[in-house]
Amino acid sequence: MKILKSLLLLSAIVFFASCSKDAPTAQLTFEHLADGTPVQSGNLHRIGEDGKLATFSSVQFYIHNLRMIKTGGEEFEISGTHYIDLDNTSIDLGEIDADSYTAIKFNVGVDSVNNHLDIALLPESDPLSFKKPSMHWSWQAGYRFVSLNGYYDGNGDGMVSETDSLLQLHIGNDAYLRETTVSYALEAAEEEDYDLNIKVDYADLFNYDITDFPIVKTGMINERNTKIADAIPSIFSR
Amino acid sequence: MKETQKLQMQFRLFFLGSICLFLFCTCKKDKVNEFDYSFTPYKLNTPIGFPEPIIPDNNPLSNERVELGKMLFFDPILSRDSSISCGTCHLQNLAFTDNLTISRGIDNREGFRNTATLTNILYNDFFLKEGGIPSLERQVSAPIEDEDEMGFNMVELIERLKNHPTYPDLIWQAYEREVDAFSITRAIACYERTLISGNSKYDKFYYQDQKDILTEEEKLGMDLFFSDKTNCSTCHSDFNFTNNGFENNGLYETYADPGRIRITNKEIDEGKFKVPTLRNILQTDPYMHNGSLQTLESVIEHYNSGGSNHPNKSELVRPLDLSEEEKQALIAFLETLSDWEFLGE
């Protein structure tokens, strides 16, 4: 009897929800680039102040405090922390207000509370659960906000393979959480579904010599690491 | 969309929702495991004079959990190429250290620091030498995912254990869960909490009232250790010979490994490292965060000299003007902190 009641209740919810679903919906998709070229297997990118050729095997980042900015300055908030990598490129924003928008704003990284919680307590489905490659620094019980892994042309032969020099840029640390605003004009109308696209060009993060620092982890605060973190907002564009 | 089409779509959704709910309510997942969940409380043998340890609410000890943790601890399955286990660097007869200057990981990769003892690790408040990890459970994933230690990945490890012939059943038996990061980290922490050392010659003298057990030289060393002349016991204090704090002991004027500042980002913490327990110190050579002092003699000599100048150096580290007899006595006392039963002899 109980099951029957639940069945009827859920069915009613589904029925009425489907009747009143008239708000616009949207997805936000990130396009991974480096030096203007899509990040994918076999693609070479020129990065670093010394202009090294590189390939990326993985690019990963977290965002949270995602907001769509309306023309009047009011913010439409999308809750949660979101994980993006080469396979998971989109965030389902669900229903949004039918309104006029000028920008999309978010913080790159994990907020200072979630950043230091016990990752093993989270279910696999949680965006903050263990990832492959790892997005967690166990030694400081915190997350990598942006993690880029690959190889660069260390011997200068103009080619890059997995036998070349390792390239790593792992950005984390509460002090390196950065907010970014991407101008994004949108007139969201009822009943419509929107694909919002933001480009991420990682090349701008390599604002140093790759030869000198092929492996960079920003666990500590210093001038070089701060310069890298300060470049985060500018890697996102429409 | 026309109105009739819209209505048709809504009724389809209604029908689909009803079917899904029906299936969800009637299906019951039958979990078949070799063993049922079992919790046989594990009684820690707290030595005389030691406080009752604090055990996390979400990880009480049971025989099943300790046994599972021990299996995992000594199983190289935890490393990328299945070549090393926790026990590779943490050898019991060496008080769960390895006698290497710097620990070695998979592919003989050089690690970052000297291997820490696991002696009485259940009493530690912070883990790793800069103290960035706040619980034993959370420490477990550090060596597993460190590129220069086990070089593995928790997601891949879970998959590997799920396909193992016995671990899924043992994990179910101990935690009533499928293989996951929670059960792996909790089980290993349970085992590590059992590594209690409190039956050394010193313990027999101090806590077990065997007043004739120490030699005159050892007693002289003990008096010096606890005296204002050396101030050893200010940092290496209490039952576990550590204040669980962080100190700069003047090892260098410039530190290649900056220590606790990595966590706090405060200049005052540069060159500070966690004060280690001195229990079983004879077995844990070489010494210091980087294994740079090979012998107890060199350690005593370092403190006797007053160390290098560093703005964060502890005020207690200053020239001690110890005689040769006093140095030898201090070493003799430190040797009484070895717990041979704990060391497996």
Residue B337: how many CA atoms within 13 Å on its side-chain side?
25
Which one of B166, B193, B220 terminates a domain?
A: B193
Q: What is the mean pLDDT of residues B242-257?
A: 98
Residue B21 with chain A: CB contacts under 8 Å: 6-7, 10-11
In a domain, residue B153? The reply is: yes
* pLDDT number for residue A162: 87
Instruction: Copy the structure tokens of residue B235.
Output: 């940092």
pLDDT (tens digit per residue) in B28-53? 444 556 789 999 999 999 999 999 99
pLDDT (tens digit per residue) in A165-209? 999 999 999 999 999 999 999 999 999 999 999 999 999 999 999
**Residues B331, B205 share a domain:** yes
In a domain, residue B125? The reply is: yes
Q: Which of A15, A132, A220 sits opposite B156 (nearest CB)?
A: A132
**Residues B241, B260 share a domain:** yes
In a domain, residue B34? The reply is: no
Residue B139 with chain A: CB contacts under 8 Å: 138
Which one of B174, B193, B212 terminates a domain?
A: B193
In a domain, residue B134? The reply is: yes
* pLDDT number for residue B1: 44
**Residues B315, B241 share a domain:** yes
In a domain, residue B7? The reply is: no
**Residues B310, B213 share a domain:** yes
List the CATH number of the domain containing B303: 1.10.760.10
Mean pLDDT estimate for chain B: 93
Interface test with B, best of A126, A138, A191, A226 (most B CBs within 10 A): A138
In a domain, residue B42? The reply is: no
**Residues B205, B158 share a domain:** no
* pLDDT number for residue B336: 98
pLDDT (tens digit per residue) in B216-238? 999 999 999 999 999 999 999 99
Q: How many domains does chain B have?
A: 2
* pLDDT number for residue B23: 47
Which one of B148, B168, B193 terminates a domain?
A: B193
Which residue, among B288, B294, B204, B196, has the nearest Cα to B249 in the 3D structure?
A: B288
**Residues B320, B210 share a domain:** yes
Question: Percent of chain B beyond pLDDT 70?
Answer: 90
CB interface of A with B, residues 196-225, below 8 Å: 219-221
The complex's ipTM works out to 0.88
Write out the residue range of the structural domain in which residue B76 sits.
63-193
Residue B181 with chain A: CB contacts under 8 Å: 119-120, 129-130
**Residues B133, B114 share a domain:** yes
**Residues B222, B127 share a domain:** no
Interface test with A, best of B78, B112, B125, B138 (most A CBs within 10 A): B138
In a domain, residue B265? The reply is: yes
Residue A119 with chain B: CB contacts under 8 Å: 138, 141, 181
Start-end of H helices in B34-153 = 63-73, 86-89, 136-139, 141-145
**Residues B85, B103 share a domain:** yes
In a domain, residue B343? The reply is: no
Stated pTM of the model: 0.89
Q: How far apart are CA A58 and CA A131, in angstroms?
A: 12
CA distances from B266 to A139, A220, B2 (A): 17, 10, 66
Grade residue A228 by pLDDT with cuts at 50, 70 and 90.
very high
pLDDT (tens digit per residue) in B277-328? 999 999 999 999 999 999 999 999 999 999 999 999 999 999 999 999 999 9
CA distances from A9 to A5, B9, B53 (A): 6, 19, 50
**Residues B213, B106 share a domain:** no
Counting Cβ atoms within 10 Å, is residue B335 exposed (0-12), middle (13-18) or buried (19+)?
middle
Three-class DSSP category at B222: helix
Q: How far apart are CA B6 and CA A50, in angstroms?
A: 59
**Residues B255, B178 share a domain:** no
**Residues B208, B328 share a domain:** yes
Cβ-based neighbours of B326, under 8 Å, separated by 6 or more:
B220, B221, B224
Using the beta-carbon criterion (under 8 Å), do B134 and A141 form an inter-chain contact? yes
